[in-house]
């Protein structure tokens, strides 16, 4: 399995608080992705990165920001969490057109 | 617009029976196609992928998929399912921006 870790694995927070999720890879893959998974919606892309400090928006980017200051780390920040952001968040890595490899996920609950 | 459709939200199959999960895509160019599996509480694992060449692709855990350009389909098959195959299965197509477009998933239930 690709070396991808996500932290924290579970988090409960309150509406209006900032939250940062971390994705760490040891595979030196160029591309990194943040998805959210909700029942009936499959996976939806939030943001992705195609290199250090190079990021772009995905399908559901509103309310989220990202940063990638080094190859191995990709941070997802919810500036002011809302209940609609309660979800399971997955990080993935890849080398472009080829396979994406997924982390174990972070379950976020916003009360 | 590019899209992936998995028409079946749930499928129930008896253990030992054959399985086919449907996937249809809409994409202008030659697609890169993927099937992933997600066990409860787990991340997604690649089952198989099609980039080019032989349209019948073999994957892990005894799964295979056939790319049919004329039908815009990439259906997943397994000749005999095991209880451990109970999971959710996702079809995806890769686009020109190195992103994956995902289907909504099909949940496979195995009857003993």
Could you give the CA distance from residue A39 to residue A102 in angstroms, rounded to a whole number? 18
Query: Is residue B112 very low, low, confident or very high in pLDDT (cuts 50, 70, 90)?
Result: confident
CA gap A31, A16 in Å, rounded: 30
C-beta atoms of A42 and B90 within 8 A: yes
Give pLDDT, residue A39.
84
Model pLDDT, residue A35: 97
Per mean pLDDT, which range of A72-81, B25-34, B85-94 is the poorest?
Answer: B25-34
Contact between chains at A97 and B104 (C-beta distance less than 8 A): no
Q: Which residue in chain B is spatially nearest to A31 when comparing CA positions?
A: B98
Q: Is the pLDDT of residue A1 over 60?
A: no
How far apart CA A36 and CA A46 sit, in angstroms, is 7
Q: Which positions in chain A touch B90 (Cβ < 8 Å)?
A: 42-43
Dihedral class, residue A63 (left if φ above 0, else alpha if ψ from -120 to 50, else beta): left
pLDDT at B2 over 90: no
- Tell me how far CA of residue A99 lies from CA of A28, A40, A62, in angstroms: 14, 23, 26
Between B9, B49, B90, which is nearest A43 by CB?
B90
Q: Does B105 contact chain A (CB < 8 Å)?
A: yes
All residues of chain B having their beta carbon less than 8 Å from the beta carbon of residue A49 are none
Question: Is any Cβ of chain A less than 8 angstroms from the Cβ of B59?
Answer: no
């Amino acid at each position: 399995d690709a070396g991808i870790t996500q932290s924290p694995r579970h988090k409960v927070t309150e509406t209006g608080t900032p939250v940062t999720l971390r994705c760490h890879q040891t595979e030196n893959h160029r591309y990194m992705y943040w998805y959210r998974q909700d029942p009936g919606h499959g996976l939806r892309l939030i943001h992705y990165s195609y290199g250090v400090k190079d990021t772009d928006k995905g399908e559901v980017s509103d309310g989220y920001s990202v940063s990638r200051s080094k190859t191995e780390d990709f941070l997802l920040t919810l500036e002011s969490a809302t209940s609609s952001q309660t979800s399971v968040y997955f990080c993935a890595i890849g080398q472009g057109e080829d396979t994406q490899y997924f982390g174990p996920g972070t379950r976020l609950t916003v009360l | 617009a590019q899209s992936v459709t998995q028409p079946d939200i749930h499928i129930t199959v008896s253990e030992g029976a054959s399985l086919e999960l449907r996937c249809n895509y809409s994409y202008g160019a030659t697609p890169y196609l993927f099937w992933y599996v997600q066990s409860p509480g787990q991340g997604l694992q690649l089952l198989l992928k099609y980039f080019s060449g032989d349209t019948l692709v073999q994957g892990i855990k005894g799964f295979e998929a056939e790319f049919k350009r004329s039908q815009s389909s990439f259906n997943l098959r397994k000749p005999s399912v095991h209880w451990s195959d109970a999971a959710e299965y996702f079809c995806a197509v890769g686009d020109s921006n190195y992103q994956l477009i995902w289907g909504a998933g099909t949940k496979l239930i195995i009857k003993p």
